[in-house]
């Protein structure tokens, strides 16, 4: 069975089976064999040996999974970064606001120091000198440092350094003022103002740096930055004029036109740029422009006229006090408006950054959720491929190899989810059942064959035993009384249909018969044995002078009609009388070779024994003296057929006898044998051949 | 066992079977026996077997003829026509003229038996 499966499926079952040890080994060996069969070169086969469905799928899915992870990562990481940056921008915006506070404070304090030293403004503004900017810088440095980024930390340190320099300057100025030395005080004032100038310049740069770190492409932020810068410009102009004018007013020194012109130019310069500034801001942020307009309007229409009136009063020396009050009020209001605008800018940018952060957060959350979902789906697909395809295929493959290896035990019944896996498993079950049935049929057939072979051998043994019995019935050649018998016998089958016997009878008589049972084989052989016994008994009972015809007639009458008929020649040779007599029952005419060389056929024929129950027979009488030879034979001797299908023929046989009549009996028989063997070159006889030569000695 | 070839004709109540095989021997004797016994069992009692084509007959075929003859009723006839050469010699040797009716030809047989 396995051999056949092997041949049909195109791979050598024997080799595959030898390789199958463990199930793993089996799987490996099988996939190698299955794939190697159609593969062309040894290289392909080598690769094929290592690759099966699982490794192929695992490789492909691993690559797909890696690409998927990469894709999702490339989506999620920028979203996360965007969110982190948006969060940082809120802090950076706070820092920028503090820097703006510090800058505005520095401008105010520079004017104050220029006007009064570390004392309060003459118009009542008090508090520690530089306290507001230093605290703002400290807040900015702290916030920026917390962001953790290296660039931010460097900036934070620089801001902290600026704060420290300002503090040292303020303390030195206080110490000088406490000492009361006017020159020392003047030197420290100049030093602090110088520090403030440096700090202001640097802090303006920092605001730009921080802005460039945030998204400059954002038009709202550009608008707010412009407002911040405008505020700084306006405040710078006003605070410088404030310091200058207060110093002039309070010093009591004569007013110089040059100083007044410087103050006027500063104000005029800013007024000139207001329209441009406002227009530009409006381009980016209409709402912020509206807010900024309040300050710009105030500067143009309230402060600038108030300052102009004061400058005029100072130049003319008239209504100086009234003008000073109006101007001081305008300055105070301006400070308030600057503070309002700064808050507005700060709140607006904070709101802006908060919106951006929130949007970034939503984007990040969406992408992370989407990535998780895609990955979960991918994992589910992996699980489904493993459970629904790979594992069933491996089970089915294992089962197939078990079948190929001849393991026909029913495996565990498994229900696969996919219909095609189910039908594969079902087909395999059918194969198994078929194989079991085929095995059973083969076993039964083999057992039947064995029984038939046994029976055949038994029959052959029986036939050989029967043949021995039959041969034992036939006498050895030799002398019986004065008659020498020579024989030639060749059976076509194990059992012969021909038989003969010769025996001494009472007196000087010798009995002889030859029988040829119709047909061949075992049936004819058994009938031949029975006929031999009947004929021998009849001859033995034959007394001297008793009718040979009567003996044969009785034999014929008693022959069972159920048995095959046979031909027989029954002969009595009387050596005293030198005569013989014969009853011929369908047997070929015997040949009498006389001592003088003459040759003659004997008898006129007769019915075979068993053909007709009431048959009549004839007895003939013939001379049989010394030197005479009687040849009795069955028709097989002249009916043998050669390779061309020709029959030897009776005529040829008689001619053969005539041609060799002069030879001794031994030589005569030898020439007959040679002639027959030459004729019948096939080596197998179609009929038994028997010849008995009785020679009177 | 070979199947013997033959033709079959009917002349009134005579059934004429003509053997086409040239040899009647062990290989086709059984077929001859079955043919004859089959016809006899169908009720045929007057049969002419035309042997003009047969050049050789052995004891097995003769046994088939004798077997068929034994199945016939006493008044039945199995006539052999056209036997020549070795066949006729066998018939003479075994004195079958005492068992069967012999005719030199088929026509002679039908003429004699229909009369």
Q: Is A677 strand, coil or helix?
A: helix
In a domain, B40, yes or no: yes
Look up the domain containing B49 and give its range. Answer: 6-114
State the alpha helices, DSSP H only, in A37-52.
Answer: 42-50
User: C-alpha dihedral over A101, A106, A112, A114, to 10 degrees?
Assistant: -160
Return residues 501-530 of A near B (CB < 8 Å): 516, 518-520
Task: State how far residue B25 is from chain A, nearest Cα, in angstroms.
Answer: 9
Across the interface, of A519, A608, A616, the residue whose CB is closest to B94 is: A608
User: Is the per-residue pLDDT at A186 higher than 60?
Assistant: yes
| B49 occurs within a structural domain | yes
**Which among A350, A356, A269 is positioned nearest to A304, based on CA atoms?**
A269
Give yes or no for a contact between A594 and A657, defined as CB atoms under 8 angstroms apart.
no
- From chain A, the residues in CB contact with B99 under 8 A are 607, 611-612
CB contact under 8 A, B59 and A561: no
Measured CA to CA, the distance from residue A549 to residue A619 in angstroms comes to 6
Residue A521 CB coordination number (10 Å):
15
Token couple for A74 = 């490339």
Report the chain B residue with the minimal C-alpha distance to residue A589. B93
Taking all residues of chain A, what is their mean pLDDT, rounded to a whole number? 85
| pLDDT digits 0-9 by tens, A251-305 | 777 888 888 898 899 898 888 888 888 888 888 888 888 889 999 999 999 999 9
**Model pTM?**
0.52
Residue A209: alpha-carbon gap to chain centroid: 60
Residue by residue, DSSP assigns A593-640 as E-TTS-EEE-----PPBTT-TT----EEEEE--TT-EEEEE-GGGT--
For residue A34, how far is the Cα from the chain centroid? 12
* Helix intervals (H) in A385-478: 391-404, 419-473
Binary contact (B93, A588; C-beta < 8 A): yes
**pLDDT of res. A47:** 54
pLDDT value of position A285: 82
Residue B36 within a domain: yes
Q: Which of B26, B33, B56, B59 to mutate to test the interface with A (most CBs of A within 10 A)?
A: B59
Q: For residue A22, what pLDDT is reported?
A: 41
Q: A141-150, A407-416, A452-461: lowest mean pLDDT where?
A: A407-416
The predicted-structure confidence for A191-236, as pLDDT tens digits, reads as follows: 888 889 889 899 988 888 887 776 556 777 788 888 888 888 889 8
Confidence of residue A110 (pLDDT cuts 50, 70, 90): confident
Q: Do B94 and A589 make contact, defined as CB atoms within 8 angstroms?
A: no
Domain count, chain B: 1
Q: Is the pLDDT of residue A620 over 60?
A: yes
Q: Are A517 and A531 contacting, i.e. CB atoms less than 8 angstroms apart?
A: yes
Q: Which chain B positions have a beta carbon within 8 Å of A589's beta carbon?
A: 93
Lookup result for tokens 């807010």: A291
Strands (E) in B25-88, as ranges, are 46-50, 56-57, 77-81
- Check CB contact under 8 Å for A650 and B25: no
For residue B29, is it within any domain? yes
- To the nearest whole Å, the CA of A457 is away from the closest chain B CA by 23
Residue of B nearest to A524 (CA): B60
Higher pLDDT residue, A220 or A667? A667
Distance (Å) from the alpha carbon of B95 to chain A's nearest alpha carbon: 5
Cβ-Cβ contacts under 8 Å, B95 against chain A: 586, 605-607
Whether A688 contacts chain B with CB within 8 A: no
Quick check: A647 contacting B, CB < 8 Å? yes
Burial A415-446 (b: 16+ CB within 10 A, else e): ebeeeebeebbeebeeebeebeeeeeeeeeee
CB contact under 8 A, A519 and B95: no
Q: Is B59's CB within 8 Å of A649's CB?
A: no
Q: Do A606 and B94 touch (CB under 8 A)?
A: yes
- CB pairs A-B closer than 8 Å: 59
Q: Cβ A607–B56 below 8 Å, yes or no?
A: no
Residue B46 lies in a domain: yes
Residues of chain B in contact with residue A647, where contact means CB-CB under 8 angstroms, are 56, 86
The pLDDT of residue A35: 39
pLDDT class of A27 with cuts at 50, 70, 90: very low
A566 band by pLDDT with thresholds 50, 70 and 90: very high
Give A697 to chain B, closest Cα distance, Å: 30
Please report the pLDDT score of residue A211 as a whole number: 76
* CB-CB under 8 Å, B70 with A561: yes
- A455 near B CB under 8 A: no
Q: What is the mean pLDDT of residues A129-146?
A: 90
* B96 inside 8 A of chain A by CB: yes
Per-residue pLDDT tens over the stretch A494-548: 888 899 999 999 889 999 999 999 877 788 888 999 999 999 999 999 999 899 9
| Chain-chain contact of A607 with B92 (C-beta, under 8 angstroms) | no
> What are the tens digits of pLDDT across the range A299-344?
999 999 999 999 999 888 888 889 989 998 998 899 899 999 999 9
B40: domain CATH number is 3.30.750.24
Mind listing the pLDDT tens digit for each residue in B49-58? 999 999 999 8
B88 touching chain A per CB within 8 A: no
Contacting residues of A for B96, CB less than 8 Å apart = 607
| DSSP H or E run through A139 | helix A131-146
> Angle A286-298/A320-384 helices, nearest 10 degrees?
170
pLDDT at site A1: 38
Q: Give the separation between CA A235 and CA B56, rounded to whole angstroms.
A: 153
Q: Which helix (H) or strand (E) holds A33?
A: helix A23-36
CA distance A459 to A151: 113
Tell me if B1 is assigned to some domain: no
CB contact under 8 A, B26 and A519: yes
Mutate to test the interface with B, among A498, A590, A611, A648 (most CBs of B within 10 A): A611
Judged by CB atoms closer than 8 Å, whether chains meet at B58 and A649 is answered as no
Residue B86 lies in a domain: yes
Length of chain B: 115
Closest B-chain CA to A687 = B26
| Cross-chain residue pair B98–A612, CB shorter than 8 Å | yes
- Provide, as residue numbers in chain A, all residues whose Cβ is less than 8 Å from the Cβ of B26: 519-520, 686-687
Q: Do B59 and A611 touch (CB under 8 A)?
A: no
- Report pLDDT for B4: 92
Spatial contact of A541 and A612, defined as CB atoms under 8 Å apart: no
A437-446 pLDDT, tens digit each: 999 999 999 9
Per-window interface: B 17-56 vs A, CB < 8 A: 25-26, 29, 56
Chain B closest-CA separation from residue A608 CA (Å): 6
Please report whether residue B109 resides in a domain: yes
Provide the shortest C-alpha distance from residue B15 to chain A (in Å): 23
**Dist. CA A210–CA A514, nearest whole Å:** 142
Q: How far is B81 from chain A (nearest CA, A)?
A: 19
Query: Of A1-15, A67-81, A405-419, A535-549, which gets the smallest average pLDDT?
Result: A1-15
Q: In the prediction, which pLDDT does B53 show?
A: 94
Q: Minimal Cα distance from A585: which residue of B? A: B94
Residues 586-615 of A with CB under 8 A from B: 586-589, 605-608, 611-612, 615
pLDDT digits (tens, 9 = 90+) for A342-394: 999 999 989 988 998 999 999 999 988 988 999 899 999 999 999 988 888 88
* Higher local confidence (pLDDT), A188 or A35: A188
Structure tokens at A152: 């931010």
């Amino acid at each position: 069975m396995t051999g056949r499966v092997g041949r049909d499926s195109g791979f050598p079952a024997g080799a595959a089976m030898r390789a199958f040890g463990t199930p793993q080994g089996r799987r490996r060996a099988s996939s190698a064999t299955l794939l190697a069969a159609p593969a062309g070169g040894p290289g392909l086969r080598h690769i094929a040996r290592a690759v099966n469905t699982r490794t192929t799928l695992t490789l492909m899915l691993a690559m797909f999974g890696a690409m998927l992870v990469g894709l999702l990562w490339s989506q999620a990481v920028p979203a996360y970064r965007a969110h982190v940056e948006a969060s940082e921008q809120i802090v950076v915006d706070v820092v920028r606001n503090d820097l703006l506070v510090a800058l505005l404070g520095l401008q105010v304090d520079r004017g104050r120091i220029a006007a009064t030293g570390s004392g309060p403004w003459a118009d009542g503004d008090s508090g520690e000198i530089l306290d507001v900017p230093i605290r703002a810088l400290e807040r900015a440095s702290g916030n920026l440092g917390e962001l953790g980024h290296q660039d931010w930390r460097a900036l934070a340190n620089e801001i902290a350094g600026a704060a420290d320099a300002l503090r040292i300057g303020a303390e030195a100025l206080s110490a000088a003022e406490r000492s009361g030395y006017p020159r020392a005080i003047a030197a420290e004032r100049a030093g602090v103002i110088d520090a403030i100038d440096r700090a202001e310049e640097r802090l303006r740069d920092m605001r730009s740096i921080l802005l460039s770190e945030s998204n400059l492409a954002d038009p709202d932020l550009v608008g707010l930055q412009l407002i911040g810068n405008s505020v700084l410009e306006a405040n710078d102009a006003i605070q410088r004029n404030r310091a200058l004018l207060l110093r002039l007013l309070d010093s009591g020194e004569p007013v110089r036109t040059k100083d007044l012109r410087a103050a006027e130019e500063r104000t005029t310069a800013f007024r000139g740029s207001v329209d441009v500034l406002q227009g530009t801001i409006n381009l980016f942020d209409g709402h912020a422009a509206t807010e900024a307009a309040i300050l710009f309007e105030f500067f143009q229409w309230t402060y600038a006229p108030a300052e102009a009136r004061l400058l005029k009063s100072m130049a003319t020396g008239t209504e100086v006090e009234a003008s000073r009050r109006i101007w001081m009020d305008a300055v105070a209001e301006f400070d308030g408006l600057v503070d309002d605008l700064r808050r507005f800018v700060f709140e607006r940018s904070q709101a802006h950054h908060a919106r951006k952060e929130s949007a970034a957060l939503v984007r990040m959350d969406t992408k992370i959720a989407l990535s998780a979902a895609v990955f979960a789906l991918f994992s589910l697909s992996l699980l489904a491929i493993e459970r629904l395809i790979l594992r069933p295929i491996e089970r089915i493959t294992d089962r197939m190899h078990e079948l190929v290896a001849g393991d026909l035990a029913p495996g565990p019944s498994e229900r696969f989810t996919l219909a095609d896996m189910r039908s594969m498993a079902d087909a395999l079950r059918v194969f198994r059942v078929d194989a079991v049935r085929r095995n059973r049929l083969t076993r039964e057939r083999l057992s039947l064959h064995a029984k038939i072979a046994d029976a055949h051998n038994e029959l052959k043994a029986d036939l050989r035993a029967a043949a021995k019995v039959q041969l034992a019935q036939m006498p050895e050649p030799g002398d019986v009384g004065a008659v020498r018998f020579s024989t030639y016998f060749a059976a076509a089958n194990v059992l012969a249909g021909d038989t003969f016997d010769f025996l001494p009878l009472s007196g000087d008589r010798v009995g002889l018969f030859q029988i040829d049972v119709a047909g061949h084989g075992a049936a004819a052989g058994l009938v031949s044995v029975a006929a031999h016994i009947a004929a021998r008994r009849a001859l033995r009972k034959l007394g001297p002078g008793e009718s040979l015809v009567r003996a044969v007639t009785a034999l014929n009458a008693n022959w069972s009609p159920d048995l095959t008929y046979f031909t027989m020649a029954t002969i009595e040779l009387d050596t005293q009388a030198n005569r013989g007599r014969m009853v011929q029952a369908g047997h070929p005419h015997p040949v009498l070779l006389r001592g003088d060389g003459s040759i003659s056929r004997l008898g006129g024929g007769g019915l075979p024994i068993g053909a007709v129950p009431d048959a009549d027979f004839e007895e003939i009488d013939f001379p049989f003296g010394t030197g005479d030879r009687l040849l009795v034979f069955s028709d097989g001797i002249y009916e043998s057929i050669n390779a061309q299908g020709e029959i030897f023929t009776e005529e040829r046989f008689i001619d053969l006898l005539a041609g060799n009549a002069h030879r001794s009996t031994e030589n005569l028989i030898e020439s007959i044998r040679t002639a027959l063997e030459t004729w019948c070159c096939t080596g197998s006889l179609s009929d038994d051949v028997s010849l008995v030569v009785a020679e009177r000695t | 066992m070979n199947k013997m070839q033959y033709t079959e004709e009917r002349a009134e109540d005579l059934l004429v079977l003509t053997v086409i095989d040239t040899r009647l021997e062990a290989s086709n004797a059984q077929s001859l026996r079955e043919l004859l016994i089959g016809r006899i069992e169908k009720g045929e009692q007057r049969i002419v077997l035309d042997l003009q084509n047969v050049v050789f007959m052995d004891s097995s075929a003769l046994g088939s003829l004798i077997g068929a003859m034994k199945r016939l009723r006493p008044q039945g006839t199995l006539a052999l026509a056209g036997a020549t050469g070795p066949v006729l010699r066998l018939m003479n040797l075994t004195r079958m003229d005492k068992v069967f009716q012999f005719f030199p030809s088929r026509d002679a047989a039908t003429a004699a038996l229909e009369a």
